[in-house]
């Protein structure tokens, strides 16, 4: 009897240990460091580190650059999440209509950006976007349109960077939607067809409701990814021009690893953690309410 | 039996005493026994193999192995952080001047002042005027100059001549006028190029107007008449339409294609041009940076320092002195193309027979090190660029932006 109660705990121990070591512990360490003035000289000699209470958080609240990064991240999320969910759902629905050779080739084609290295992507897109020698401006020049500053104009750069991330982010989500579409029972579609429902009506009333969980899952993971948005602005613009594409993650990276303000950066990362956790919990709560009407 | 135990105890005690005495001596930093093993040297960039070739005579002469670790420039911050945190670093390391203060503040570098008497090759008088002093941190010598680098004016003489300009501009007013002439060649043609990431450029401009960005007490001070002239010049070049406004402008391509036929840059650009467009040979030249009061440029480059807790201080200092010998410095120029930092090597006849190097050497003789504030690249320099670029690129209000710059950099000090 006693052995029986212990077994489940024994079985989840490895997973729990990993979660504690690589999930919970770093957050606790960051929380502790965020209350100190830790910088590189503190790293060299622990006696240089002092507890300063919530000063880092007060400083964050008064840092216009941090608020700007928060605003940028919010904008990226507002552009990025609906675009990725809508685009990948649309592409998946279209790909699902056929199982021919072309459709199968296209499936791999859409997945390629997701498995390509971000550095290679940034090099290629950097050339596409280049003001003087870029492909986009070259094509535009046929129509007599002058040089567009894709990555140099503070407003346009936000959208250019977001576009690369959308292009890169759709692949994986298309696969998730395609897998979910396999799970839509053929009988339902047939029943709908017998009732005289057209393609559009079937998709809206049968397929989309059955994809509810997949759409929810993609929305949550995509939201988290956009709140942590880092790779594209880091490699394409380094957060520039003039901070226009600095997301919270890029801001934290610069504070932490370029300015060596580990305490300050830890405080910021904790704020970001709380924001992400809150938004995700709200999404879960909404989902649960929808499930039991 | 009992006696022998007493005796061996005494022996142990004596050994312990000797060990602790030796430890005391090493604290004093005077005579230390080096640990055995190879000397580890961190070299920046991809010149590790060349460096092994450079130190081969040293290895042969002293019998000390040298292990070279090449560190990419981008990775240096992370490497420093881990080395400081773990307490184990190299024995000798190359430090870019813009990172020197960070390294010294982290306590990563051994103070060398006590050792200069034993190693005359490392003394300040071997290096160009003021460089050794300017690279002291908190009054302590923590490194010695290793390679030098500067900024000079590059001009496409063929394009200038076609537009009626006979000589490269000698003052900023001339440069601004010439740049306006050149950018009038047509759409998407420019006269000059300002890299939007180049934080030393506004400082060079301030120096050439006779000012400085450091006040008498060692504090950063941008609120000066000379810096105001710099802002006039910087914003004026943009207002004239003489410089490209996109941040992804490629300076090498821009120079080779002639879109931006003038710019201030370093010797590495000369190498890029020679590699990418050998056919341009003879159609471009370098000259001293323009200047009204002086033609002062930037002394950039790298220093060499000894890691703070190396277990081979003597071997490291010997290698450091070997690296500072004029012959070693000259052979490094031959192998790797980096300019010497030692005055005797800079005056070498064979070296200055190259017309490019002649200009570099002349420019190096009148050049300053960027002030060693705690974090130039990440803080002061970044704030300076952000302010200037906000004015020229987004039309931010000049007075307000500069006032913000003054308050942001207030209290930043080289001390």
Q: Tell me, what CATH number does B405's domain have?
A: 3.40.190.10
Q: How many beta carbons lie within 10 A of that of residue A27, not counting itself?
A: 13
Q: Which of B81, B100, B246 to mutate to test the interface with A (most CBs of A within 10 A)?
A: B246
**C-alpha separations of A78 from A70, A172, B8 in Å:** 12, 20, 79
Mutate to test the interface with B, among A161, A242, A245 (most CBs of B within 10 A): A242
Domain enclosing residue A285, as ranges: 64-291
B277 shares a domain with B399: yes
Give per-residue pLDDT as tens, B287-303. 999 998 999 999 988 99
Burial A151-175 (b: 16+ CB within 10 A, else e): bbbbebbbebbbbbbbbbbbbbbbb
Shared domain for B30 and B107, answered yes or no, is: yes
Q: Do B107 and A41 touch (CB under 8 A)?
A: yes
CATH code at A156? 1.10.3720.10
B131 and B119 in a single domain? The answer is yes
Q: Does one domain contain both B25 and B96?
A: yes
Is A13 a member of any domain? no
CA A184 to chain centroid, in Å, comes to 27
How far, in Å, CA of B51 to CA of B53, rounded?
5
Q: Look at residue A3 in the predicted model and tell me its pLDDT.
A: 59
Q: What does the pLDDT read at residue A2?
A: 58
Asked, as a colleague might, if the bond just before A241 is cis with ω within 30 of 0, I would say yes
Beta bridge mates, B299: B150
Tens-digit pLDDT profile for residues B236-288: 999 999 999 888 888 998 999 999 999 999 988 998 898 889 999 899 999 99
In a domain, A170, yes or no: yes
- Beta-carbon contacts of B261 under 8 Å, excluding residues fewer than 6 positions away, are B155, B156, B159, B160, B182, B191, B255
Same domain? For B167 and B143 the reply is no
Sorting pLDDT into bands at 50, 70 and 90, what band is B25?
very low
Containing H/E element for B282? Answer: none
Please give the sequence-ordered ranges of beta strands (E in DSSP) within B267-393, or none if there are none. 284-287, 297-306, 339-340, 367-368
Greater confidence (B8 vs B114) lies with B114
Dump pLDDT digits (tens) for A182-233.
Answer: 888 888 888 988 988 888 888 888 899 999 999 999 999 999 999 999 999 9
Contact between B193 and B260 under an 8 Å Cβ cutoff? The reply is yes
Q: Is B389 on the interface with A (CB under 8 A)?
A: yes
- Is residue B66 in some structural domain? yes
pLDDT of residue B29: 40
- Given a cut of 80, whether residue B23 has pLDDT beyond it is no
Q: What does the H/E/C string look like for A142-210?
A: HCCCCCCCCCCCHHHHHHHHHHHHHHHHHHHHHHHHHHHHHCCCHHHHHHHHHCCCCHHHHHHHHHHHH
Q: What is the pLDDT of residue B102?
A: 84
Rounded Cα distance, B402 and B397, in Å: 9
Per-residue pLDDT, B22: 40
**With an 8 Å Cβ cutoff, are A257 and B77 in contact?**
yes
| Contact by Cβ (8 Å): B100, B372 | yes
CB contact under 8 A, B106 and A154: no
Nearest chain A residue (CA) to B408? A63
Handedness of CA A43, A49, A54, A57 (dihedral sign): negative
The answer to the question of residue A201 being in a domain is yes
Report the residue of chain B nearest A132, measured CA to CA. Answer: B249
Query: Of A40, A41, A149, which has the smallest distance from its Cβ to B245's Cβ?
Result: A149
Q: How far apart are CA B258 and CA B182, in angstroms?
A: 10
How do beta strands B39-44 and B92-96 pair? parallel
The residue among B204, B168, B199 whose CA lies nearest residue B367 is B204
Q: What is the structure's pLDDT at B213?
A: 92
Note the pTM of the prediction, 2 decimals.
0.80
Element (H, E) at B358: helix B355-365
Q: Is residue A22 part of a domain?
A: no
Residue A130 and residue A118 in contact, taking contact as beta carbons nearer than 8 Å: no
pLDDT at B2 over 70: no
Is position B350 within any domain?
yes
Q: How many domains does chain A have?
A: 1
Q: B78 vs A45: CB contact, 8 Å cut-off?
A: no
- Same-domain pairing of B145 and B157: no
Whether the per-residue pLDDT at B30 is higher than 50: the answer is: no
pLDDT of residue B11: 42
Smallest Cα distance from A115 to chain B, Å? 25
| A contact set with B (CB within 8 A) | 40-41, 43-45, 126, 129-133, 146-147, 149, 151-152, 154, 237, 240-243, 254, 257-260
Q: Which two tokens stand for residue B412?
A: 């930043």
Residue from A46, A259, A262 whose CB has the most chain B CBs within 10 Å, to mutate: A259
Q: What is the mean pLDDT of residues A36-55?
A: 82
At residue A292, the pLDDT reads 57
Please tell me what DSSP assigns to residue B338.
P
pLDDT in tens, A224-274: 999 999 999 999 988 878 889 999 999 999 888 878 888 999 999 999 999
* Residue B187 shares a structural domain with residue B90: no
Q: Which residues of B touch A147 (CB under 8 A)?
A: 188, 246
**The most confident of A224-228, B88-92, B187-191, by mean pLDDT:** A224-228
pLDDT at B54: 93
Predicted-complex ipTM score: 0.73
Q: Residue B368 pLDDT more than 80?
A: yes
Site from B96, B103, B106 to mutate, A interface, most A CB atoms within 10 angstroms: B106
Of A258-262, B364-368, B396-400, the range with the lowest mean pLDDT is: A258-262
Number of domains in chain B: 2
Residues B317 and B254 in one domain: no
| Domain identity same for B97 and B198 | no
Q: What is the mean pLDDT of chain A?
A: 89
The answer as to whether A247 is a domain residue is: yes
Check: CB of residue B121 under 8 Å from CB of residue B325. yes
Q: What is the pLDDT of residue B390?
A: 92
Longest Cα pair distance anywhere in chain A, in angstroms?
82
| Cα-only R_g, chain B | 25
A132/B259 Cβ within 8 A? yes
Contact state of B253 with A129 under an 8 Å Cβ cutoff: no
**A240 within a domain of the structure (yes/no):** yes
Domain presence at residue B374:
no
| Cα dihedral B359/B72/B382/A128 (nearest 10) | 90
Q: Is residue A54 a part of any domain in this protein?
A: no
pLDDT at B66: 92
Nearest CA in chain B to A243: B386
pLDDT per position as a tens digit, B203-234: 999 999 999 999 988 899 999 999 999 999 99
Give me the numbers of helices (H) and strands (E) for chain A, helices first please: 16, 0
**pLDDT for A34:** 92
Q: Looking at CA atoms only, how far is residue B364 from chain A in angstroms?
A: 29
pLDDT over threshold 70, residue B14: no
Q: Note whether B29 and B129 are same-domain residues.
A: yes
Q: Are residues B243 and B386 in the same domain?
A: yes
Check whether B10 has a pLDDT greater than 80.
no
Q: What is the mean pLDDT of residues B306-319?
A: 90
pLDDT (mean) for A83-100: 90
Range B357-385 average pLDDT:
88
Statement to judge: residues B255 and B173 lie in one domain = yes
Domain around B103? 9-150+300-369
Mind telling me how many Å the CA of B346 is from chain A's nearest CA? 34
Alpha carbon of A187: minimum distance to chain B alpha carbons (Å): 56
In a domain, A21, yes or no: no
Q: How far apart are CA B123 and CA B261, in angstroms?
A: 41
Mean pLDDT estimate for chain B: 86
A276 close to A227: Cβ distance less than 8 angstroms: yes
Do residue A257 and residue B245 have CB atoms under 8 angstroms apart?
no
Residues 242 to 301 of B: which have CB under 8 A from any A CB?
244-250, 253-254, 259
- Are A259 and B379 an interchain contact pair (Cβ–Cβ within 8 Å)? yes
Assign B151 to helix, strand or coil: coil
């Amino acid at each position: 009897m006693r052995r029986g109660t212990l077994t489940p705990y024994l079985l989840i121990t490895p997973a729990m240990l990993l979660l504690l070591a690589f999930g919970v512990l770093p957050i606790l360490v960051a929380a502790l460091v965020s209350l100190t003035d830790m910088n590189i000289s503190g790293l060299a000699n622990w006696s240089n580190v002092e507890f300063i209470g919530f000063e880092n958080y007060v400083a964050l609240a008064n840092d216009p650059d941090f608020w700007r990064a928060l605003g940028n991240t919010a904008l990226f999320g507002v552009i990025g999440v609906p675009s990725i969910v809508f685009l990948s759902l649309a592409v998946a629905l279209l790909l699902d209509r056929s199982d021919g050779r072309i459709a199968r080739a296209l499936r791999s084609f859409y997945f390629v950006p997701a498995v390509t290295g971000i550095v290679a992507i940034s090099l290629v897109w950097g050339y596409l976007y280049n003001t003087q020698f870029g492909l986009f401006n070259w094509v535009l020049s046929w129509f007599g349109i002058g040089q567009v500053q894709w990555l140099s104009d503070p407003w346009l750069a936000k959208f250019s960077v977001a576009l690369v991330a959308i292009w890169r982010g759709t692949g994986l989500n298309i696969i998730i939607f395609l897998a979910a579409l396999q799970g839509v029972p053929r009988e339902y579609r047939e029943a709908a067809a017998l009732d005289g429902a057209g393609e559009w009506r079937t998709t809206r009333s049968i397929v989309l409701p059955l994809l509810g969980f997949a759409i929810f899952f993609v929305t949550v993971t995509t939201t988290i990814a956009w709140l942590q948005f880092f790779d594209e602005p880091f490699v394409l613009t380094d957060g520039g021009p003039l901070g226009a594409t600095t997301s919270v993650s890029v801001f934290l990276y610069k504070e932490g690893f370029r300015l060596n303000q580990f305490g300050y950066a830890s405080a910021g990362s904790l704020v970001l953690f709380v924001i992400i956790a809150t938004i995700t919990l709200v999404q879960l709560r909404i989902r649960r309410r929808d499930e039991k009407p | 039996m009992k006696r022998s135990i007493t005796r061996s105890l005494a022996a142990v005690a004596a050994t312990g005493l000797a060990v602790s005495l030796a430890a005391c001596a090493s604290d004093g930093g005077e005579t230390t026994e080096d640990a055995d093993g190879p000397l580890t040297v961190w070299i920046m960039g991809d010149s590790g193999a060349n460096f092994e070739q450079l130190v081969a005579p040293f290895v042969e002469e002293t019998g000390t192995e040298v292990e070279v670790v090449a560190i990419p420039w981008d990775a240096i911050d992370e490497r420093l952080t881990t080395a400081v945190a773990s307490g184990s670093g190299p024995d000798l390391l190359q430090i870019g001047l813009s990172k020197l203060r960070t390294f010294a503040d982290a306590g990563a570098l051994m103070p060398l002042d006590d050792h200069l008497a034993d190693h005359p090759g490392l003394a300040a008088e071997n290096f160009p005027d003021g460089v050794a002093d300017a690279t002291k941190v908190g009054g302590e010598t923590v490194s010695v100059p290793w390679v030098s680098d500067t900024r000079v004016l590059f001009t496409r003489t063929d394009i200038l001549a076609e537009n009626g300009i006979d000589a490269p501009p000698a003052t900023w007013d001339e440069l601004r006028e010439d740049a306006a002439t050149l950018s009038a060649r047509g759409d998407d043609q420019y006269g000059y190029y300002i890299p939007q990431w180049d934080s030393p450029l506004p400082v060079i401009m301030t120096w050439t107007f006779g000012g400085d960005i450091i006040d008498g007490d060692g504090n950063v001070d941008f609120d000066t008449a000379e810096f105001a002239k710099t802002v006039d010049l910087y914003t004026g070049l943009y207002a004239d339409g003489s410089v490209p406004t996109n941040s992804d402008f490629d300076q090498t391509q821009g120079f080779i294609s002639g879109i931006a036929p003038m710019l201030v840059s370093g010797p590495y650009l000369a190498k890029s041009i020679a590699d990418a467009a050998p056919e341009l040979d003879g159609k471009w030249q370098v000259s001293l940076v323009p200047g009204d009061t002086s033609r002062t440029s930037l002394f950039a480059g790298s220093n060499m320092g000894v890691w703070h807790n190396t277990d081979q201080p003597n071997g490291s200092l010997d290698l450091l002195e070997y690296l500072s010998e004029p012959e070693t410095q000259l052979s490094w120029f031959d192998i790797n193309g980096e300019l010497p930092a030692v005055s005797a090597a800079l005056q070498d006849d064979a070296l200055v027979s190259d017309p490019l190097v002649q200009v570099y050497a002349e420019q190096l003789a009148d050049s300053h090190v960027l002030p060693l504030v705690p974090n130039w690249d990440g803080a002061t320099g970044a704030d300076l660029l952000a302010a200037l670029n906000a004015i020229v690129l987004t039309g931010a209000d000049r007075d307000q932006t500069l006032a913000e710059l003054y308050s942001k950099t207030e209290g930043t000090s080289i001390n």
